[in-house]
């Protein structure tokens, strides 16, 4: 399938405390947008939509300034910091009725903006979702590279379908977003959710660069948090693992019981008593672990039933007609 019309593009850019890097990268996004429009790949009324994720520095002032000077720039601001995933979601939901396609990208210049052209071409060739996949990690530290690789492995093993080495640089059509809007869950992990929406998809590959300025907001702690959120929001495999573990432990207990009985009848009661106590402790440990994991899911159910808004926009620079 190929498409006839020139699509209107919204580039969605989450920003949290990015006053150092935004003045550097904003013009790069604009140049890319105008180049694509000049080449007839996207329509001239395409936009760059910054989503300020409740920054505490002057990021919002910079966005307002940019929007005042250049009509291609727009901004929305979340009422407080809600995290990267929610910021991207806010931008996508804002854009979905005003465009044909969106591309979400970080504002720090790490993701190669030149991949956008290929993404739009893939859309024109019929894909509704185009995943940006980094094909190198040379610029990351060994630690970041190691934890990131583990991260994808863990997610897949835990039953979360996601594209390897794809973060949140992706093209999504408005059509997909209309369906995606019906995913009402509060705990969101976008890169694991878009594969669930379906529609034809493909990947484009790019080289990931260093951050142009400022610092990463994803230390190990947040990455682990994201992994836990992703797994518990999208998969019940951990519960299955616990069930499996339960079987193994029961089997071991049976063998232990036979051993204890033999010890008892041969008169070694003191030794038997000790092993029994050890088994009790072990079983208690497993039960605690199981309760913990089940509790995690109950916690999620609890949060979902609250039906809290996933984002609240407190300000915007302008409304497009």
Whose Cβ is closer to ligand UDP: residue 218's or residue 282's?
218
How many angstroms separate the first and last alpha carbons of the chain? Answer: 31
In angstroms, the CA 39 to CA 196 distance is 33
Please, what is the minimum distance in Å from the beta carbon of residue 294 to ligand UDP? 29
Please, what is the minimum distance in Å from the beta carbon of residue 211 to Mg ion? 5
Residue 217 contact partner, candidates ligand UDP, Mg ion, none, CB within 5 to 8 A by sort of partner: ligand UDP
What x/- string results for residues 85 through 104 when contact with ligand UDP is judged by CB under 6 A?
Answer: --x-----------------
Q: Is 228 exposed, middle or buried (0-12, 13-18, 19+ CB in 10 A)?
A: middle
Q: Are 208 and 137 in contact (CB under 8 A)?
A: yes
Whose Cβ is closer to ligand UDP: residue 84's or residue 191's?
84
State whether residue 262 is helix, strand or coil: helix
What x/- string results for residues 91 through 120 when contact with Mg ion is judged by CB under 5 A?
Answer: ---------------x-x-x----------
Among 42, 107, 130, 226, binds ligand UDP (CB under 6 A): 107
Among 64, 77, 103, 108, binds ligand UDP (CB under 6 A): 108
Residue 90 contact partner, candidates ligand UDP, Mg ion, none, CB within 5 to 8 A by sort of partner: none
Residue (of 189, 35, 60, 41) closest to 113 by Cα position: 35
Residues that bind ligand UDP (rule: CB under 6 A) add up to a total of: 16
Assess 75 for contact with ligand UDP (CB under 6 A). no
The Cβ of residue 296 has, within 10 Å, a number of other Cβ atoms equal to: 14
The Cβ of residue 62 has, within 10 Å, a number of other Cβ atoms equal to: 20
Whose Cβ is closer to Mg ion: residue 94's or residue 106's?
106
Residue (of 84, 55, 75, 69) closest to 11 by Cα position: 75
Residue 81 contact partner, candidates ligand UDP, Mg ion, none, CB within 5 to 8 A by sort of partner: ligand UDP
Alpha helices in the chain (DSSP H): 22-38, 59-69, 84-95, 115-124, 142-157, 174-180, 190-197, 220-234, 237-265, 269-306
Among positions 183-242, residues that touch ligand UDP (CB under 6 A) are 216-218
Residue (of 71, 80, 66, 60) closest to 17 by Cα position: 60
Whose Cβ is closer to ligand UDP: residue 46's or residue 110's?
110
Assess 110 for contact with ligand UDP (CB under 6 A). yes
Which tokens belong to 253? 């207990």
Among 12, 15, 63, 163, binds ligand UDP (CB under 6 A): 15
The enclosing H or E element of 310 equals none
State whether residue 193 is helix, strand or coil: helix
Q: Are 42 and 120 in contact (CB under 8 A)?
A: yes
Residue 84 contact partner, candidates ligand UDP, Mg ion, none, CB within 5 to 8 A by sort of partner: ligand UDP
Whose Cβ is closer to ligand UDP: residue 141's or residue 287's?
141
Q: Would you tell me which residues interact with Mg ion (CB under 5 A)?
A: 106, 108, 110
Q: Would you tell me which residues interact with ligand UDP (CB under 6 A)?
A: 14-16, 18, 53, 81, 83-84, 87, 106-108, 110, 216-218
């Amino acid at each position: 399938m190929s498409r006839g019309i020139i699509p209107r593009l919204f580039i969605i850019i989450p920003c949290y405390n990015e006053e150092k890097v935004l003045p550097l990268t904003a013009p790069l996004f604009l140049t890319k947008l105008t180049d694509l429009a000049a080449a007839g790949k996207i329509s001239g009324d395409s936009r760059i939509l910054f989503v300020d994720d409740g920054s505490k520095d002057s990021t919002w002032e910079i966005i307002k300034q940019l929007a005042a000077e250049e009509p291609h720039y727009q901004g929305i601001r979340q009422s407080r910091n809600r995290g990267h995933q929610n910021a991207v979601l806010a931008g996508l939901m804002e854009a979905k009725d005003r465009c044909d396609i969106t591309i979400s990208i970080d504002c720090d210049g790490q993701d190669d903006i030149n991949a956008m052209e290929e993404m739009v071409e893939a859309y024109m060739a019929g894909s509704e979702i185009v995943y940006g996949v980094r094909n190198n990690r040379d610029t990351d530290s060994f630690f970041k590279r190691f934890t990131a690789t583990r991260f994808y492995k863990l997610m897949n093993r835990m039953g979360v379908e996601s594209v390897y080495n794809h973060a949140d640089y992706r093209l999504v059509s408005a059509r997909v977003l209309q369906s995606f809007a019906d995913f009402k869950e509060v705990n969101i992990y976008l890169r694991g959710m878009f594969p669930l929406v379906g529609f034809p998809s493909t990947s484009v590959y790019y080289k990931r660069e260093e951050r142009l300025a400022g610092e990463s907001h994803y230390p190990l702690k947040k990455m682990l948090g994201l992994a836990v959120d992703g797994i518990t929001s999208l998969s019940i495999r951990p519960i299955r693992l616990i069930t499996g573990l339960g079987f193994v432990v029961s089997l071991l207990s049976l063998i232990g019981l036979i051993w204890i009985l033999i010890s008892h009848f041969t008169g070694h009661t003191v030794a038997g008593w000790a092993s029994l106590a050890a088994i009790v402790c072990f079983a208690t440990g497993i039960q605690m672990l199981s309760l913990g994991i089940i509790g995690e899911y109950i916690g999620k159910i609890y949060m979902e039933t609250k039906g809290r808004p996933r984002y609240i926009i407190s300000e915007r620079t302008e409304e497009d007609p």
